[in-house]
Amino acid sequence: MFRSVLIANRGEIACRIIRGARKLGIASIAVYSDADAHSEHVRTADHAVRIGPPPAPDSYLNAAAIVAAAVGSGAECVHPGYGFLSENAEFADMCASAGLAFIGPSSAAMRAMGLKDAAKALMEKAGVPVVPGYHGPGQDEAELTIAAGNIGFPLMIKAVAGGGGKGMRRVDAPSDFSAALASVRREARLAFGNDHVLLEKYIANPRHIEVQIFGDRNGNIVHLNERDCSLQRRHQKVIEEAPAPGMTPQLRAAMGAAAIGAARAVDYVGAGTVEFIVDGADDPQGGFWFMEMNTRLQVEHPVTEAITGVDLVEWQFRIAAGENLPLGQHDIGIQGHAVEGRLYAEDPANGFLPSPGRLIGLQWPSLPGVRIDFGVREGDDITRFYDPMIAKIIAHGATRMEALDRLAGALNVMLVAGPQTNQAFLKALCEAPEFRQGRFDTGFIDRNLEELGAAPQALDEYSVALAVAHRMRSSFCRRPDRRNADGTQAAGSLWDAVDSFQLGGARTLTIPLHAGGRNGLASVEIGALAAGQTLPSFIVRFGAARADGVIKRAANEWIMEDGDTCFVLRAGVQTVVQFAAEARRAAPDDPGSGPAHIVSPMHGKLVALYVGVGETVQKNQRVATVEAMKMEHTLLAPATGRVQEIAAQPGAQVAQGAVLIVIEPEGGPGHGA
């Protein structure tokens, strides 16, 4: 067995590999960018090496720097995790040339399966059914446009080197093809350094089912059953489960045999996943087609571990060290059901935009059958440079319903404050009747966004009232400038309260605040101080909501303070209340008048402008594209008018809320005869 491993990754998967290595007595060596210098995987590893500045191409995608770090630290092997360089054949070759064992398949197998177009051609030769489409070498836009017309619409454009939902677009009409192609190519260059694409016929009502396979150096290959990954948003998996609902032993055997056949076609060694599209949301017994093979460990591997009792990371190390597979096909069974939810720093109510920021509060529940894989701690930053995943929550139960209930229960009570998250959205998915009944496909989320809470929501007035009540109790009980002799903060009293306290007794205060994108006023009715009391009673009113001074927090309610900002979480939904005047930003009195300001919806990079100063644009016309966390977001003109100003150029880093384009609406001062 190896004595030391360098982990060429970050976040929760790096932490997972560190745990697996420690179990086998292998010393772990982490790598980190400047943005991750104090991250969890650096804190938990036995040793850590800096590899560069925050942008991924300068750090986690810098193969030469990572190999140098492995050699310099005395590592015997390299584990790539998933994403970044995990399916990069050149990186695997560089490791081998440096005398480092690569925890993964051969570079030849990676090359054969790493590009979707070549993999499909290989599967056709091996007799594995593939989705109809174009996966030829020609990449000229005119040639691709002709191929698209031959396939018919709707269709999918996919980066040949893609994965993780990156570099994919559905195109419904010929008029949308050129723009979608350009967008996929930009995203593919950014994420994978390869902008070649393939085209596939879009299959209506598809289920996304994948089979976990494992091979050793003696030609033994097994499958560890399947996972259903059909709950997706923008082709990014959201909830995964094993086994697949509705799967019969016959179909499982057929798909398992096809997956093993695909692996044998490339003499596969190590962990891999063969992904299939299954036709028909209500008929999992329909036809299935090979989609791609991921030559690495998958994000969702814990659900397979839960139902098989197999430690897949341990198997990876053992196979790479030359051992045979620990189990044969007949030894691998299914124990219950497992479901995994991916917790992201994103805002479902605002188009799932990334929500980078500092984790003000973080507390994981300890519940039966629940496992949480995470790579952050309270106080860490979710940066704009990388994928916004915070953690994976995995629930295992005797039945699918028990697993879903356990996942929903964990999501209901966990605390994640600071960035907006999809915590409540995941819980709503677990509780959605059609999903629980097994009636879903890859379009389920997009068809049910409003029902799942992924739409603009009214301000939670009760949460605002709770924040004010919490703030008032804090003001009664502490005063920052009063200290004990040892420098600690002195205990407060009523006389320390920095409010409009009067000896006359009852009074009413008005508290200005900012929440839900607007300014507001809360009223606080403070009662007279009764005999024997050290603190008065009070009632907070905000809108139609009322909260008293005695805050009885429910199991799924949290209140956190950070300076002049209060974070209130109720069942995973966060309300942010700001009390400092300088932190508030008033909403315009009449957003329909005056110039229209197009602002960046998040911190990111302006990658494209489609208009110039003086040009006339139509309402909902595409005007710019901003990229953040490896995903592109298209900005549309809010009104018909003329471009008055462009405040940033492609390549610029832009802050959330920064004005990018100013449009003078039609009929404004810049228009007319």
Provide the annotated active-site residues: 296
Candidates 308, 317, 230, 349; CA nearest to 21 is 317
Give residue 59's identity as a one-letter amino acid code. S
Q: Residue 663, SS3?
A: strand
Return the sign of the alpha-carbon dihedral for residues 463, 465, 469, 475.
Answer: positive
Count of residues making up the chain: 673
Beta bridge partners of 343: 391
Q: How far apart are CA 435 and CA 231, in angstroms?
A: 9
Contacts of 458 (CB under 8 A, 6+ apart): none
Q: Are 108 and 118 in contact (CB under 8 A)?
A: no
Return the sign of the alpha-carbon dihedral for residues 378, 384, 386, 389.
Answer: positive
In the chain, what's the furthest Cα-to-Cα distance? 90
Q: Are 307 and 225 in contact (CB under 8 A)?
A: yes
Q: Are 585 and 615 in contact (CB under 8 A)?
A: no
Question: How would you class 334 by CB atoms within 10 Å of its CB: exposed for 0-12, middle for 13-18, buried for 19 or more?
Answer: middle
Q: Are 374 and 15 in contact (CB under 8 A)?
A: yes
Q: Residue 65, SS3?
A: helix
Q: Residue 195, SS3?
A: coil
Beta bridge partners of 634: 625
What are the backbone dihedrals phi and psi of residue 331, each rounded to the nearest 5 degrees, phi first? -90, -5
Question: How would you class 220 by CB atoms within 10 Å of its CB: exposed for 0-12, middle for 13-18, buried for 19 or more?
Answer: middle
Q: Are 26 and 5 in contact (CB under 8 A)?
A: yes
Q: Are 311 and 17 in contact (CB under 8 A)?
A: no
Beta bridge partners of 289: 277
Q: How far apart are CA 23 and CA 8, in angstroms?
A: 19
The two beta strands, 381-382 and 47-52, are unpaired
Q: How many CB atoms lie within 10 A of CB 50?
A: 15
